[in-house]
Amino acid sequence: MQRIIDAHTHLSERRDDALDHFARKNGLSYTLDELLGIMRRHKIVRGLLLSPPLLGGGPLPNDDVIRLCTRSDGMLAPVVTVEPTAKEVNTAVKLAEENRKEVKAFKVRLGYVKASAESPVFNTLYDYAESERLPVLFHTGDTAFSTGDLARSHPLTLDGLANRREELRIILCHFGNPWFEDVAELIHKHPNVYADISGLITGGAYAEEYAEWLARKISEAIYFAASADKVIFGTDYPVTKHSETLALVRSLEVDDSDKEKIFHLNAERVFRL
């Protein structure tokens, strides 16, 4: 039986969730019961839950994420989203400390906030993440909304941070789409940098051809890095359907042993699941 871990999923059950239009587009009800049902159907044993953006521009409060995970009977674990102010950083670190058995990572919304990965405001966060061996996920690549800042979400903006913080586990969300080759270089160069494949398939014209292109790009990145040890499975539910991301991994031109790393072994190691 294939063991799978989804290291990137969203949920709020709120009407002002900005990802609701993706859910409707994908024919999803976007509820906790639905998410857990889909996970069971696809043999996904654990998931990491991240704050979705709300219509006002900010993320779902982290307390709400923790409450949703508590209702999941152990299937979901929280990722704490950190906004770029000293107050928000301190609050996030305190929350993680209070829930240290449950919290598995932090998330910084590059491209959606007016700060870069190397902003000094995050130093306290990085210090704590290093001390507790908690990974930090960074949004990289294209943004869900046209107001996003690509100059801050480009994956190469993480190169300097990885150089300065060799003990910080850095996860590049969405494989830096469309900058796959840059991400391939980063995961090859830095022992502490990883990438997830979440949110890559969003439908539209040429969907079949696009899925084939994605599989080729990710396969080539693995060839360049000479290993699949840095690639992590994630769906970005409700942005991408679970079935589509599962099909993407299964279509990669890599060994089955590497697919097993992507599906669960890498996440188990990086997030200590």
User: What domains sit in the chain, N to C, each tagged with a CATH number?
Assistant: 4-271 (3.20.20.140)
pLDDT digit string (tens) for 225-238?
999 999 999 999 99
Q: Indicate the pLDDT class of residue 205, thresholds 50, 70 and 90.
A: confident
Per-position DSSP letters for 151-199, written without gaps between them: HHH-GGGGHHHHHH-TTS-EEEEGGGTT-HHHHHHHHHH-TTEEEE-TT
pLDDT at 145: 83
Mean pLDDT (the chain, rounded): 96
pLDDT at 146: 85
User: Is residue 200 a contact partner of residue 248, using CB atoms and an 8 Å limit?
Assistant: yes
Whether the per-residue pLDDT at 177 is higher than 70: the answer is: yes
pLDDT band at 246, cuts 50/70/90?
very high
pLDDT at 226: 95
Which candidate, 104, 107, 101, 116, places its Cα nearest to that of 89? 107
pLDDT, tens digit, 9 for 90 and up, residues 108-153: 999 999 999 999 999 999 999 999 999 999 999 999 888 889 999 9
Q: What is the mean pLDDT of residues 211-232?
A: 97
pLDDT tops 60 at residue 1: no
Could you tell me the pTM of the whole model? 0.96
Q: Is 154 a residue whose pLDDT tops 70?
A: yes
What average pLDDT does range 33-62 have in this prediction?
Answer: 96
pLDDT the model gives residue 144: 82
